[in-house]
Chain A
Amino acid sequence: MKIRVDENLCQGHGRCYSLAPELLSSDDEGFVTLKGSSMDVPAGMESAARQACNACPEDAITLED
């Protein structure tokens, strides 16, 4: 599973890294550090990835299998 954060849609609501701190972290401005990029979801963190994806009001996060 891959998790991707759209560069243009992400506005720093912070829902993703608040709900899945083991998976995602934030930068100085409060944006998720994964903004504009993607990464493999480590084994066992799929649920956290789904929670993060389900929480973004901008629909900036997508999951790919």
Chain B
Amino acid sequence: MSDTETKGGCPVVHIDYRQNRTAHETYANLNEVREMAPILWNETEPTAYWMVTRYDEVREALQRPDVFTNDVVSALGDPDSHIRLLPQNLNPPEHVWYRHVVNPWFSPGSLSRIEGYARQRCIELIEELRPRGGVDLTVEFALQFPTEVFLHLLGLPPSDGYKLLPAVEGVFRGFFGGPPEEMARDVATIKDYFAAVVDDRLVNPGDVKTDFVSYLLQSTVNGEPLPPEDVLVLCLTILLAGMDTTRSATGYIFEHLARNPEHRQMLIDSPDKIPAAVEEFVRLYSLVYQDGRYVAEDVEFHGCPMRKGDIVWLGLAQANRDPRKFDRPDEFVIDRESNKHLGFAAGAHRCLGAHLARMELVMVLEEWLARIPSFTLATDEPLTERGGQLMLHSVPLAWEV
């Protein structure tokens, strides 16, 4: 990379973010790039894009959907092969109509309905693990628990997770540069699953308070019923969002706690601090480290000449570790006076599942630390993380029984 290479006055880099890395190497790189400049041009494959790296500019762009639209939602991967996602790929006003339909299902009030089930399963799963003295978190508990809770929330059999997970993982590989034919096949698997549910609920409507597909089939958008294809795409989108992120967050949180016994002890001594800890973990270990946008009209954005059709990376993880916004940005700090992190993004597309994610992560910490208060990483080998959307591939923990 040349110090003098620029585009529109912004430095040019050549970084492929789809590659897997050693654990935490991504954050180190993201920090470095942020400190180079507030806006850069990443000349990379398969598509080049602007990188907006600092908190104020990232948030501003998220709050300007007229200019930075959701026709593209990821700066990584080929924009032509992106699958349609709902309501993610929509812009106002359609986007607002769709969010009105799905928001109630994922509101704190709605989630209180499933809190009892979730806690019961959480405790059961942890109690099953306890006598074993060890687990690879990412491939077991961190995968099982969010999957079961999520499917239960939708009114679907939790055991269906095992059918859907390989397809979900396949779609994520596809998002970040995997073979498009395989991704298309995995998308079809998920859509076929929901198509069967839709076909059933059309003949046997379920309770609209507990059966998500039935609820969608009875909802309207701008006065019109949702087209069945939209019901499928909504379910696909929400499934993809729900099954990967919470799993990944759990991995990073436990890896952190395994390496930082003093933080663990603090949460054991003061469980009332767990909600604040979860917010801090979401800030520090942002998994969706970039949100993509499409430039809908030529705009000079903080001195940078962006053209209609350009793709933009909004650096959520970079914003979350921006020293201009957060004191001690790379440290876990439990008592921040202000933690306005963008781990769930901002603007109208802010994460629909944020309340669910928080509920699950708080619950996991409460129930795990009460039963397995002390644990270590069971390997000296460096851990690795997935490119594109962060996940630690393996988090092997060990504890005394």
A: residues with CB less than 8 A from B are 9, 11-15, 18, 26-30, 54-59
Contact = CB atoms under 8 A, between A and B. Distances in A.
A57 B325 CA distance: 12
Nearest to A59: B340
B63 A54 contact: no
A13 B103 CA distance: 11
Contact of A30 (B279, B339, B355): B355
Nearest to B279: A15
Contact of A13 (B63, B100, B106, B354): B354
Given A28-B104, A30-B107, A58-B63, A11 B348 contact: yes
Contacts of A28: 104, 107, 109-110
Contacts of B110: 28
Contacts of B63: 9, 58
B157 interface: no
B337 A11 contact: no
B126 interface: no
A44 to B, nearest CB: 20
Contacts of A56: 340
Contact of A29 (B59, B104, B279, B339): B104
A44 B109 CA distance: 27
Interface of B: 59, 63, 100, 103-104, 106-110, 275, 279, 337-342, 344, 346-348, 350, 354-355
A26 B111 CA distance: 13
A57 B337 CA distance: 13
A30 B99 CA distance: 11
A26 B344 contact: no
A27 B100 CA distance: 12
Nearest to A26: B108
- Which among A13, A14, A30 has the greatest number of chain B C-beta atoms within 10 A? A30
Contacts of A12: 103, 107, 350
